[in-house]
Amino acid sequence: MIRLAKSVLGACAGTIGCELVPRWRVDRLSLARHLAAIFEKYQVDVVFDVGANQGQYYEFLREDVRYRGLVVSFEPIPELAARLTARAARTARWQVQNCALGRVEESRAFNIMEGSELSSFKAPDSSHVPELSQWNRVARVEQVAVRRLDDVWPALKASHGVSRPFLKLDTQGFDAEVVGGAGTVLPQFVGLQSEVHVLPLYQQSARYLDEIAHFEALGLSVTGLFVVSSDSSLRAIEFDCVMLGAAALQPQPAPDR
């Protein structure tokens, strides 16, 4: 009966140009529509999902953005990367790499937090958002491989025949380091999504205005800010900052007739 009611309501909403959206999807709907417009307008054909965790962004791309192109997910935590690899083996257009991205190629100590989505190269700082202290504390430290986007992108471009990349960063305070390792290839990226912090969750973290200024100095242009999380006082903790890159802003050649 419930399923029938949902079908009837969905059909009725469609006839008046409306869409029924589950409550749990509403918060991310505006970001999804924003990305969908960018992906369509600028013909994005590969998304770099840096800091994939448990594949949440991959699911968001497929279910909400309705993106069907190649996704390359980077996850440094071995057990999470293994699970993603197993899932990707059963799914088209998804590749997983068990590494982090950064400014230099190296092996580096990585803090795996009680809440794995908060894991970071940086040490936690719970003084600004104490309600996250239970999850934002180090459970263990592991050495993980770090690669440079400068080295990763050319090989992927050649092997998959893609040319319009979009870079999503969710590295818990390490986003600028990832971009620092993309110096020669960053101008080829259509756009970038970075999680910037209003309330610091890590020691020596840049604040969101400084992070955005850094990206703008690299030639990126902000298209939208979307709240990721808030504390119990309703203060924003993080924003997803979406930007256009040089590849999007350059005139595209007219199609052959």
Q: What is the pLDDT of residues 37-88, one digit of tens each?
A: 999 999 999 999 999 999 999 999 999 999 999 999 999 999 999 999 999 9
* Complete domains list, the chain, with CATH: 24-248 (3.40.50.150)
pLDDT score at 116: 94
- Give the chain's mean pLDDT: 89
Compute the average pLDDT of residues 97-119. 96
Query: How far apart are alpha carbons 99 and 75 in whole angstroms?
Result: 6
Rounded to 5°, the CA angle 249-156-181 comes to 65
- CA–CA gap between residue 112 and residue 80 (Å, rounded): 11
Q: Residue 117 corresponds to which amino acid?
A: E
Q: Which of 166, 176, 170, 135 is nearest to 57 (CA)?
A: 170
pLDDT per residue over 211-255, tens digit each?
999 999 999 999 999 999 999 999 999 999 999 998 887 765 555
